[in-house]
Amino acid sequence: MSKKEWPLWEIFIRGQHGLNHRHVGSLHAPDAEMAINHARDVYTRRKEGVSIWVVPSVQITASSPSEKGPLFDPAESKTYRHPTFFDIPEEVGKM
């Protein structure tokens, strides 16, 4: 019987040059180097990426679902942050 479980890693893949790394899932690996090797096999078998980041899952601090209101609701009433809030007369042309 194995002594301990390999730690969990969160995997981020850059799909194409010029794009952000995006979270694609997680996997178990003994260390960062092996996590990259495993991520290559698990998440990029069909040329899904050009770069991989691996982060120990325990290192991720997440906002709690119960904070959703205080964190995100204030943005709801601020529609003036969007360009479509302002009516610009047609004569002005493209803006």
Partner 1 sequence: MYAQLIKSEGMKSREEMSQEEIAFQERVDRGEKIEPKEWMPEGYRKTLIRQIGQHAHSEIVGQLPEGNWITRAPTLERKAILLAKVQDEAGHGLYLYSAAETLGVSRDELLEKLHSGEMKYSSIFNYPTLNWADMGAVGWLVDGAAIMNQVPLQRTSYGPYSRAMIRICKEESFHQRQGYAVMMKMAFGTPEQKEMAQDALNRFWFPALMMFGPSDKDSVHSAQSMAWKIKINTNDELRQKFVNETVPQAEYLGLTIPDENLVWNEEKQGYDFSEPDWSEFFEVIKGNGPCNRERLGARVKAWTDGAWFRDGLSAYAEKAAARRAAIVAAE
| By the rule CB under 8 A, 73 interacts with partner 1 | no
Q: Give the separation between CA 16 and CA 44, rounded to whole angstroms.
A: 12
| By the rule CB under 8 A, 45 interacts with partner 1 | yes
Interface with partner 1 (CB under 8 A), residue from 34, 40, 55, 56: 34
| By the rule CB under 8 A, 19 interacts with partner 1 | no
Instruction: Candidates 12-20, 34-42, 69-77, 86-94: pick the segment binding partner 1 (CB under 8 A).
Output: 34-42
52 within 8 A of 40, measured Cβ to Cβ: yes
List, in order, residues 6 or more apart from 71 with CB less than 8 Å away. Answer: 63
13 within 8 A of 44, measured Cβ to Cβ: yes
Instruction: Note the residues at the interface with partner 1 (CB under 8 A).
Output: 1-6, 8, 25-28, 30-31, 34, 41-42, 45-46, 62, 64-65
